[in-house]
Structure 1
Amino acid sequence: MSIMATREIYETAFDEDVQTHSSANQCPECDGRVTTNAVETVCEECGLVVNEHQIDHGPEWRAFDEDERERTGAPLTAARHDRGLSTEIGHGADANGNTLSGRKRRQVARMRREQTRGRFQSEAERNLAHGLGEVRRIVSTLELSETIRDQACRLFRSAQNEDLLPGRSIEAMATASVYGACRCNGISRTLDDVTDPARVEKSRVTNAYKTLNTELGLPAKPVTPSAFVPRLASELDVPDQIRQRARKLAEDSESTGVTTGVRPSGFAAACLYKAGHEQGQLFTQSAVAEAANVSPVTVRTHRDALDELAV
């Protein structure tokens, strides 16, 4: 084979490889650029998921073979004062599930008591455990995500490291940490919503949150009325058409600046009230105000502002 023929074969193969590589890096929908991470391949332009890896290549925490059965324990978590590394002594059975004898149960009970006594190395660690437990309780009552729980726990831990707890209630600082995590993520939870399951007065939570916001410089996002519309619509069980109309009313009002300085939940309630009347579903002002935890006068005032805007 001549040198020219061999060169043409290599050039043809190189061109085909370039075309295949370029097509693999293009979105099949919009021809945009795609990027691949450890989980999926996504188009940067339209967001199309081109490919995803459904196999978890992480470590297997448990082996079910009888000869190699072992368990490494739960992963580290910010919701515990010791990151979840403390020892927990069970009740009533050994590692193989066999029932303990009376003598062994009494021995395990004594071990559990001594382990509980030596669980905390200092008073600060005991306060941290109490505060994180309060954070977990409030987050569970409000049915918030684990991400919010972990962020609230980190806020409380940062508050203790910055010596913000002396002179303030641990329960108030824990509640303020949950409210701060909600504000930083733009979640539609008012201070009243977070304070209801708390074991402290609202005024003390307010002061604790102001301290957190000032000393730690929280990147709190302003909560808009449109963010409250889905939650209120779910509580009032309204159709999707009314919910969408109420959200549009709230977004149009936000663009005009009329919602600046007003209570977002009250304005969202007024949007739902107005949208319901436009669609023929007559809500009472008392029912909408009760769902938003505001007074009927607030709903009526914001309804009049919406009528003046004619959005």
Structure 2
Amino acid sequence: MSEDRLSIKKEKENEKTASGEIKVAERCPECGSTNIIRSYDRGELTCMDCGLVIDEKIIDQGPEWRAFTPEEKEKRGRVGPPISTTSVEGVSPTVIQWPGRDATGHKLSPQKAFEVSRWRRWQIRSRIQTSQDRNIQQAANHLERIAFRLNLPQNVKEEALKIYRAAVKAGLVRGRSIESVMAASIYAACRILKVPRTLDEIADYTKAGRKDVARCYRLLLRHVKLNIPIADPVDFVPRIVSALGLSGVLQRKALEIIQQARKAGLTAGKDPAGLAAAAIYIASLQTGERKTQKEIARAAQVTEVTVRNRYKELIRKLKIPITS
């Protein structure tokens, strides 16, 4: 019997597939039965009719978790890089770091540092083949930096990179700053997903400045099919209130003021962040949680002049009584 088991093992070794998996024997070599059970608990392949252990010490190479849908399988799997659209398609995110120290922390000699630097250049060239790939990789670096500073969620980053890819395809990046087009793409993504960030906030983290970013944003609107919803001042209120540490009562009051302004037709064509800031300022006066126009303007990333102008307009046209 031991010889039969050994011959079966050899036969099965010859039945390995291209992926390295072993095909299960269809019949028992002892009785010819096909009633064969594989037990991963014991690591055995056993004939249930005659009791012959056909194979033993079988290794379960599958995952330890169970999944019943493709979504669960993708979510629970831990092999391979994270699935993300914020990296260049087909490009590995692993790179050789700038030469300085070895794996043990010791400083590299000048000659060794030069060699590592050369390896790094060649690796980057082999990873990113085309100029378009290099362009998108550089844009992705700007995206990660700006998104980190603004604490933007993953869905905004993915949408921004999708918009930037469309801009590259439309030829909008040629002759323009990659950083500016990326910043404009981030602003468009925030507008689409209703994440309250102003153009000024995003432009503050670029070298190009607001004017250049605004110009690129207008180009995106003209040449890329974007479904940009109208910015709502309501979306800005919670973030400003939270930044100032104000109460929920004040927040509800500010939202009521914005609703009144909308019914009166005062929101059209107005900066939503400035309108939200003015409503919060009025609510702070009414509830006694007083904040200066300067403090609110800073939290809303708008100017004091904007807050003051919107404040005067709201109290005049809505006839809001303000006690000094």
Answer whether contact 1:232 1:291 (CA < 8 A) is retained: yes
In the TM superposition, residue 119 of structure 1 has moved relative to its aligned partner by 2.1
Aligned to 2:33: none
In the TM superposition, residue 99 of structure 1 has moved relative to its aligned partner by 10
Aligned to 1:252: 260
Question: For residues 21-51 of structure 1, what are the alpha-carbon distances to aligned partners after superposition, in whole Å with 9 as ceiling and x for unaligned?
Answer: xxxxxxxxxxxxxxxxxxxxxxxxxxxxxxx
In the TM superposition, residue 146 of structure 1 has moved relative to its aligned partner by 0.3
In the TM superposition, residue 202 of structure 1 has moved relative to its aligned partner by 1.4
CA distance 1:193–1:83, shift in 2 (3 Å): farther
The answer as to 2:318 corresponding to 1:309 is: yes
Q: How far apart, in 2, do the equivalents of 1:161 and 1:81 lie?
A: 14
**Matched letter for residue 318 of structure 2:** L
CA distance 1:217–1:117, shift in 2 (3 Å): closer
**Matched letter for residue 57 of structure 1:** E
Give runs of aligned pairs for residues 1-311 of structure 1, distance below 5 A: 57-59=72-74, 60-62=76-78, 72-83=79-90, 85=92, 87-88=94-95, 109=116, 111-307=119-315, 308-310=317-319
Task: Give percent identity, aligned residues only.
Answer: 31
In the TM superposition, residue 267 of structure 1 has moved relative to its aligned partner by 1.2
**Matched letter for residue 240 of structure 1:** G
Structure 1 stretches lacking a partner, 5+ long: 1-52, 63-71
Answer whether contact 1:135 1:174 (CA < 8 A) is retained: yes
State the TM-score, normalized to the length of structure 1.
0.69
Residues paired across the two proteins, number? 242
Answer whether contact 1:75 1:84 (CA < 8 A) is retained: no
Moved more, 301-310 or 183-192: 301-310
In the TM superposition, residue 296 of structure 1 has moved relative to its aligned partner by 3.0
Question: For residues 67-126 of structure 1, what are the alpha-carbon distances to aligned partners after superposition, in whole Å with 9 as ceiling and x for unaligned?
Answer: xxxxx3113321111355455458956xxxx999x9xx98x9465443123222122221
Where does structure 1 differ by over 6 angstroms across 4 or more consecutive aligned residues? none
Larger Rg: 2
CA distance 1:254–1:84, shift in 2 (3 Å): farther
Answer whether contact 1:173 1:209 (CA < 8 A) is retained: yes
Structure 2 stretches lacking a partner, 5+ long: 1-67
Please state whether the residue corresponding to 1:156 is helix, strand or coil.
helix
Question: For residues 236-262 of structure 1, what are the alpha-carbon distances to aligned partners after superposition, in whole Å with 9 as ceiling and x for unaligned?
Answer: 111111111111211221232211111
Question: For residues 144-174 of structure 1, what are the alpha-carbon distances to aligned partners after superposition, in whole Å with 9 as ceiling and x for unaligned?
Answer: 1000001101111111112111121111111
Q: How far apart, in 2, do the equivalents of 1:209 and 1:298 lie?
A: 22
State the TM-score, normalized to the length of structure 2.
0.67
Q: How far apart, in 1, do the equivalents of 2:177 and 2:95 lie?
A: 29
Answer whether contact 2:198 2:301 (CA < 8 A) is retained: no
- RMSD (CA atoms): 2.9
Q: How far apart, in 2, do the equivalents of 1:285 and 1:181 lie?
A: 29
